[in-house]
Chain A
Amino acid sequence: MIQNEKVAYMTKMAVFETREGKKCEPMRKYFRKDYLALQIIKSFLYATAGFALLFVFWCVYQADDLMARIDTLNYAKVGIKIGKSYLVCMAAYIALTYAVYSVRYVKGKRKLRRMERYLKKVKRFYRKKDPSDRKSAHTEKIGQMDEK
């Protein structure tokens, strides 16, 4: 017999699995700190690549000016300036990563908890199987034993 409530829970779980299952997978795998650390490491690599790209673009754009001042340029000062801007960009990017992924983790974890609640309810339904099902399962078992 079809149990409407059980079907509703299973449908909700299936919808969650197809829509957000992949997105919530890391929240299932990692603790909050590990998840954030992983994202921050990724952000560090992305920000470094992005900054390097911007730096190269800027160098090529200013190539004529740089070539004209190549002998008189104070390299230490320029280096410190670039280092400072790199650190500022990196700090801003990592702060943004921390804020965005903290919220995402909390939301994902909440959704997973809800799904676990549904799963428990579905399990309870299976435990409270109606007598006719239990009977059929019993006869099936006996049949298997006879075959052996």
Chain B
Amino acid sequence: MDRLYMVREECVRFFSKYESYIQPVLKLVIGLLLFYVINARFGYMKTLDRTVVYLALGVSCCVLPSIAIVVEAAGLILLHLYALSPVVCVLTAGLLFLMYIIYYRFTEDDGFYTSLTPLAYMVGIPYVMPIAAGFFKKPYRSVSIVCGTIIYYFLEGIRKNETVLARASSKNTVLAKVHVVMNQFLANKEMFLMCATVILATCSVYVIRRLAIDHAWTIALWIGAAVQFVLVLSGYLFWGIDKKISSLVIGIFVSLALGWGMKFFCFHLDYARTERVQFEDDEYYYYVKAVPKILYQVPPKKRTKTKKDDV
């Protein structure tokens, strides 16, 4: 365990030392990953699948604020969908606009969780997002994950129906296309289940990790995972989607591991050394519980003797 603490201290030191370099590099990596996935999944406009485009978008993500990743990703998706069908592009733009006026206008959210959520879905670990939001942000950030969830299911629905949507537009096909696109949003029960799960899990993680109990973060992590598992499993069993149960189990276990990693790096306390003190001033009586953090003192590097020292 000491070795792990040492690695953590080294990581924290490394990140704080090179933060100004690491942050743009992380933005670049996330941006490039997101743009690559978008191009790989919705490569309807072939001109966008070029190294120059990737580089230009990635570099601009480094320089601009974090919200640029979301804006550029949205632009890229709209361009691809325009190549598929202008009707689909307009409907998607409408959906994004509604998301903006309902949520993003009122918050100082940088869209980080929204852009990461579809990626997490693609990898099969969307259950880690509510845990992360509950750990580090306020419960309203679950709306950001809900937006990401809606975008993911909506775009997946479009991708599955691309043959219908790619047909040349005529008076009848336009209406049929609108029906297909709108049904991805209105008739997708799994999406609504995931949205409700995200909100419930984020709120439960947030509430439990703020409780003044021992191992609050660990309990919050387990309960967050359990809430998601029970809700999603009951949904799958109810609708008879047996194929996805195995991916749910694996996803929950991987999310638990990632959640434990987050807890380890950001909130690791030594409950064995908890101290309880009581004191008073003129107005109040204080009951204080102080739990020390686990800090590992990195041993100083041994100085090797050189010839110069001997002299």
Q: Which residues of A contact B (CB under 8 A)?
A: 23, 46-47, 49-50, 53-54, 57, 60-61, 63-64, 96-97, 100
Contact = CB atoms under 8 A, between A and B. Distances in A.
B98 A47 contact: no
Interface string B96-120: 0110011001101000000000000
Contacts of B102: 50
A108 to B, nearest CB: 12
26 contacts: A23-B108, A46-B101, A47-B101, A49-B97, A49-B101, A50-B97, A50-B98, A50-B101, A50-B102, A53-B94, A53-B97, A53-B98, A54-B98, A57-B91, A57-B94, A57-B178, A57-B182, A60-B175, A60-B178, A61-B178, A61-B179, A63-B175, A64-B175, A96-B106, A97-B106, A100-B106
Contacts of A50: 97-98, 101-102
Contacts of B105: 46
Best-surrounded residue of A46, A49, A60, A97 (most CB of chain B within 10 A): A60
B302 to A, nearest CB: 36
A69 to B, nearest CB: 16
A100 B105 CA distance: 10
Nearest to A54: B98
A61 B175 CA distance: 7
Contacts, number: 29
Interface residues of B, number: 13
A139 to B, nearest CB: 41
A53 B95 CA distance: 9
A100 B178 CA distance: 35
Contacts of A57: 91, 94, 178, 182
Contacts of B182: 57, 61
Nearest to A50: B101
Nearest to B93: A53
Nearest to B98: A50
B5 to A, nearest CB: 31
Interface string B201-230: 000000000000000000000000000000
Contacts of B98: 50, 53-54
Interface in B163-195: 175, 178-179, 182
A23 B110 CA distance: 14
B164 to A, nearest CB: 16
A96 to B, nearest CB: 7
Interface string B73-107: 00000000000000000010010011001100110
A78 to B, nearest CB: 20
A97 B182 CA distance: 28
Contacts of A96: 106
Contacts of A49: 97, 101
A77 B101 CA distance: 29
A61 B174 CA distance: 10
Given A50-B102, A64-B175, 5 more contacts: A50-B97, A53-B94, A54-B98, A57-B182, A61-B179
Contacts of B178: 57, 60-61, 63
Nearest to B179: A61
A46 B98 CA distance: 9
A103 B82 CA distance: 40
A148 B4 CA distance: 72
A23 B108 CA distance: 10
